[in-house]
Amino acid sequence: MSAFAGIVQAVTRHRGVVACLIVSADDGIVVEGTAHVGVNTAAFAALTASLHRKATRAAAAAAFGTVQVLDLEAEEGRVIAAGQGGLLVVAVTDARANFGLVRVELLRAAAGL
Amino acid sequence: MAYATSVGWAEAPLRRFVGDARVELAVLLHPSGQVLAQVGFQRALDVQTACALSAAIHATSGQLGRLVEGAPFRGLHVGGEARQFYIGALPVRGSEVLLLAVFDMESSLGIVQLYLEELRAGVAAAAPLLEAPTEPALAEDFERELDRNLAKLFGRAE
Amino acid sequence: MYADDIRSMSEALAAEPQSLVFLPLAEALLARGDLTAAARVAQRGAGRHAMRAEAHDLVARIALAQGDEARAEAAWARVLELAPAFGTAHRGLGLLRYRQGRLEEATRHLEAALAGDPDDQIVGAALAAVQRALAGGGGEGRARTAPRTSVPVPAIEDLDTLRPAELFDATLGDTPQVALLLDRDGLVTAGRYVTADGADMGIVLGAHLSGVSDEADRAMRHFGLGRWTRIVLEAEAATIALSPEESSVVLVAAPQGTPLGFVRRTLDHCTAVARVWLGRRS
């Protein structure tokens, strides 16, 4: 069992979470993760990491500091990412998920990276 | 013979890839080093140089893969200070073409790999139908072609 | 409404996108609880038939069902611009104002709604409660005078007199937040962000954060989650929230420590204001 399996398990036990990925922030490559069938983990990893990088550069340019949580809300679900040390914990949820709970879990997970 | 300009059918899928993946430079080439399409290079000589080197790197890493695990490595990623590159093989209709992609922080290895399949499908759809070879190309023909390209690169006449 | 009826209406709409069949189709989807599809059909239809009050009324009712009060308010405001006596719009706005504690506005709308349908018992009860609250009455049935939000939205008629930089001033009030409306190139269309020493940070913020919305647009093509509706970035020193509005992006930034829900609510209100303002300029 990898070092991150516990983190992934803790996030995916929340209702509505369809994928949890540990992603290399710079490369956008999946390090560890689990997902429902049909979820394109490579796409979520690469594009969420890219979005996070862009957001981080934008926040830094505006002197807002580093981005600790990124929350992308869409019509049919959500992508939430938190991270440190070059890694991101990315949760993909459907519309049923309790955002507040998942967010708290992700912050806890990011602290453990 | 090395092509300094793009062969028509390969350019559109490569441009789409460059736009989607936001890479700086990209070349599609035959494994012998012949350019099929390029985007972003300033000079024809740079294209030829990149093609010859990429083909050589791919051939070398392929041999290393055969040595280490009995099958050629399919892709190589190298990260630099401000830029990275990826060289990968795209299987197309029984043969393969190579991709060299150079990118900075606007892209990433994950993004390049994400759009690689779309590029492969685009190239496969656009590539003109080639006659199937009646016998496999001899390895020495390929190496002779590659050597010729490298000789041009390093200025040694044949 | 049976599934077959919905299917045949969908086919009719697909064959002729300009047709008004989107109205009964969206109603049927709303009745079935398929709110996302209903919203999509209604919004597209309202876009094609922008001068039809009932199209915007449908958008508003679906938005309310989705819990998007800001979008509902904006759509009903548009209805009343087109048809000042439209009963459902007065009803909807009256009830929203009642919940928001804006009792005088609620009275005007509820009276207009009751004039159109004197038998509407819900409107009658709400009007009675509002009148008691205004008269200082208490006890059972007392109106909820505590506003659901402390972020005011300017009256629609004031928008035309505002300079673009002032567009969000009333909505933001004296909260330490900033709001900008950005075009597709990240240029500031309305709102302002000027630091204490007079530097215009709106340009910087807009330029960098518009790249985030572009990135989100690209990502959504691969995610299979529909369109993005909101992005919130929690940074060390600030919380930044973005939402798309037509080809523009609304941006709100708040100091770290501002409750997330409050930032999101501010974003929704600013987006509603931007929607109306842009609509009046299109």
- B interface with A, Cβ–Cβ below 8 Å: 105, 107-111, 113-114
Do the Cβ atoms of C237 and C174 come closer than 8 Å? Answer: no
Whether chain B has a CB inside 8 Å of the CB on A51: the answer is no
Contacts of A79 in chain C (CB under 8 A): 219, 223, 225
CA B153 to chain centre: 16
- List own/partner pairs for C198-201 with CB under 8 A and 24 or more apart: C201/A62
Query: For residue B131, what pLDDT band results from cuts at 50, 70 and 90?
Result: very low
> So what's the pLDDT on residue C67?
66
Name residue C141's amino acid.
G
Do the Cβ atoms of C43 and C25 come closer than 8 Å? Answer: no
Give B143→chain A minimum CA distance, Å: 34
CB contact under 8 A, B110 and A53: no
Whether chain C has a CB inside 8 Å of the CB on A61: the answer is yes
Do the Cβ atoms of A55 and A84 come closer than 8 Å? Answer: no
Whether chain A has a CB inside 8 Å of the CB on C232: the answer is yes
- Partner residue opposite A50 with nearest CB, options C215, C226, C233: C215
Q: What is the pLDDT of residues A17-67, one digit of tens each?
A: 999 999 999 999 999 999 999 899 999 999 999 999 999 999 988 888 899
Whether chain C has a CB inside 8 Å of the CB on A75: the answer is yes
- Partner residue opposite C36 with nearest CB, options A54, A57, A76: A76
CA–CA gap between residue B60 and residue B87 (Å, rounded): 12
Per-residue b/e over C49-87, b at no fewer than 16 CB within 10 Å?
beebbbbbbbbbbbbbeeebbbbbbbbbbbbbbbeeebb
Structural tokens at position A67: 């981005």
B4 has a pLDDT exceeding 70: no
Q: How many CA atoms lie within 13 A of A41 on its CB side?
A: 17
| DSSP one-letter string for C3-54 | HHHHHHHHHHHHH-TTSTTHHHHHHHHHHHT-HHHHHHHHHHHHHHTTT-HH
Task: Tabulate helix, strand, coil % of chain C (nearest 5).
Answer: 60, 15, 30
CA–CA gap between residue A103 and residue A78 (Å, rounded): 11
Structural tokens at position B20: 């989607």
> So what's the pLDDT on residue B142?
63
Q: What does the angle CA C248 – CA C252 – CA C254 come to, to the nearest 5 degrees?
A: 165
- ipTM score: 0.96
- Residues in C 186-215 with any Cβ partner in A closer than 8 A: 201, 204-205, 208-209, 211-212, 215
Mean pLDDT of A5-16: 94
CB contact under 8 A, A50 and B107: yes
Give A16→chain B minimum CA distance, Å: 25
CA C122 to chain centre: 23
CB contact under 8 A, A71 and C232: yes
Contacts of A70 in chain C (CB under 8 A): 231-234
CA–CA gap between residue C232 and residue A103 (Å, rounded): 12
Whether chain A has a CB inside 8 Å of the CB on C83: the answer is no
CA C173 to chain centre: 18
Contacts of A28 in chain B (CB under 8 A): 108-111, 114
The SS3 call for residue A50 is helix
- Partner residue opposite A66 with nearest CB, options C205, C226, C236: C236
> So what's the pLDDT on residue C33?
64
- Name all chains with 3 or more CB-CB pairs below 8 Å to chain A: B, C
- Name all chains with 3 or more CB-CB pairs below 8 Å to chain C: A
Do the Cβ atoms of B112 and B21 come closer than 8 Å? Answer: yes
Do the Cβ atoms of C89 and C80 come closer than 8 Å? Answer: yes
Structural tokens at position B133: 């070879």
Greatest distance between any 2 Cα atoms in chain B: 47
Q: pLDDT tens digits for chain C (282 residues)?
A: 456 788 888 888 888 888 899 998 998 888 666 778 888 999 999 988 988 999 999 998 888 777 677 888 889 988 998 888 888 888 888 877 876 667 888 888 888 888 887 877 667 767 776 777 677 544 333 333 333 334 445 565 567 778 899 999 888 988 889 999 999 889 999 999 987 778 888 888 898 888 899 999 999 999 999 999 999 999 999 999 999 998 899 999 999 889 999 999 999 999 999 988 888 776
Picking from C68, C201, C208 by the largest number of A CB atoms within 10 A of its own CB, the best residue to mutate is C208
Burial of B157 per CB tally in 10 Å (0-12, 13-18, 19+)? exposed
